[in-house]
Amino acid sequence: MATAGRKHKHGQREPGQVLLLARDFIDCFYTNIGRLGTAAHTERWAAIEREVQEKGTYELTTTELVYGAKQAWRNSQRCIGRIQWSRLQVFDARAMTTTAGMFEAICNHIKYSTNKGKIRATITVFPQRTDGKHDYRIWNHQLIGFAGYLQPDGSILGDPLTVCLDLGWRGKGTAFDVLPLVLSANGGDPEYFVIPEDLVLQVPISHPQYEWFKELGLRWYGLPAVSGMLFDCGGIEFPAAPFSGWYMVTEIGARDLCDAHRYNILPEVGRRMGLDTSTPSTLWKDRALVEVNVAVLHSYQESGVAMVDHHTASESFMKHLEHEMKNRGGCPGDWVWIVPPLSSSITPVFHQEMALYKLNPSFEYMDPAWKTHVWHQDRNDVHDSTKPRRKFTFREIVRAVKFTSRLFNRALHRRIKATIIYASETGRSERFASMLASLFSHAFNAHVSFLFGEIAPRVGFVRRL
- Alpha-carbon separation of residue 236 from 11, 41, 332 (angstroms): 11, 19, 22
Chain centroid to CA 320: how far? Answer: 19
358 and 438 fall within a common domain: no
Buried/exposed 296-332: b ≥16 CB within 10 Å, e otherwise = bbbbbeebebbbbbbeebbebbeebbeebeeeeeebb
- In contact, 377 and 290? CB cutoff 8 Å: no
Average pLDDT estimate for 284-305: 98
Residue 22 lies in a domain: no
Average pLDDT over residues 318-330: 97
pLDDT more than 90, % of the chain: 73
Residue 146 above 70 pLDDT?
Answer: yes
Is position 246 annotated as part of the catalytic site? yes
Residue in 85, 246, 258, 324 annotated catalytic: 246
Beta-carbon contacts of residue 94 (< 8 Å; ≥ 6 apart): 59, 65, 125, 126, 127, 128
Q: Is 82 a catalytic residue?
A: yes
Active-site option among 191, 237, 251, 291:
251
Q: Are residues 184 and 102 in the same domain?
A: yes
pLDDT of residue 166: 66
Q: Mark whether 300 and 428 lie in a shared domain.
A: no
Q: Label residue 122 by pLDDT band (50, 70, 90).
A: very high
Radius of gyration of the chain (CA): 24
Co-location of 395 and 426 in the same domain: no
Q: Which residues contact 416 (CB under 8 A, 6 or more apart)?
A: 443, 444, 445
Q: Are residues 353 and 372 in the same domain?
A: yes
Residue at 38 is within a domain: no
User: Average pLDDT of 69-84?
Assistant: 98
Region 291-295 average pLDDT: 98
> What is the total count of domains within the chain?
2
Quick check: 451 pLDDT over 90? no
User: Identity (one letter) of the amino acid at 257?
Assistant: L
pLDDT tens string 38-54: 999 999 999 999 999 99
By residue count, the chain amounts to: 465
CATH code of residue 401: 3.90.340.10
Residue 141 domain flag: yes
User: Is 351 inside a domain boundary?
Assistant: yes
For residues 163 and 161, what is the distance between their CA atoms, to the nearest angstrom?
6
Answer yes or no: do 341 and 233 share one domain.
Answer: yes
Which pLDDT band, with edges at 50, 70 and 90, does 426 fall under?
low
Boundaries of domain holding 183: 59-408
**3-class secondary-structure state, position 83:** helix
Its pTM stands at 0.80
Report the pLDDT averaged over residues 116-139. Answer: 96
Q: Do 289 and 422 reside in the same domain of the chain?
A: no
Lowest mean pLDDT among 81-85, 150-154, 237-241: 150-154
Residue 256 lies in a domain: yes
133 close to 12: Cβ distance less than 8 angstroms = no
Q: Are residues 261 and 304 in the same domain?
A: yes
* Annotation says 375 is catalytic: no
State whether 358 and 450 are in the same domain. Answer: no
Does some domain include residue 12?
A: no
In the chain, the percentage of residues whose pLDDT exceeds 70 is 89
Whether residue 29 is contained in a domain is answered as: no
Catalytic residue selected from 82, 120, 129, 137:
82
Q: Is residue 232 classed as helix, strand or coil in its secondary structure? A: strand
Q: What's the average model confidence in pLDDT over 134-146? A: 96
Asked if 114 and 234 sit in the same domain, the reply is yes
Same domain, yes or no: 170 and 249: yes
In the structure, what pLDDT confidence band is assigned to residue 380 with cuts at 50, 70 and 90?
Answer: low
**Which is catalytic among the residues 28, 74, 79, 331?**
79
Integer Cα distance of 450 and 433 in angstroms: 10
Phi first, then psi: give them for residue 90, nearest 5 degrees: -110, 125
pLDDT the model gives residue 126 = 98
How many Å apart are CA 16 and CA 376, to the nearest integer?
Answer: 32
CA distance 213 to 216: 6
Q: How do residues 200-230 score in pLDDT, each as one tens digit?
A: 999 999 999 999 999 999 999 999 999 999 9
Residue 386 confidence class, pLDDT cut points 50, 70, 90: very low
454 found inside a domain: yes
3-class SS of residue 441: coil
Do residue 402 and residue 439 come from a single domain?
no
CB 144 within 8 A of CB 162: no
Report the distance separating Cα 131 and Cα 98, nearest Å: 18
pLDDT value of position 270: 98
Query: Is the pLDDT assigned to residue 461 strictly greater than 60?
Result: no
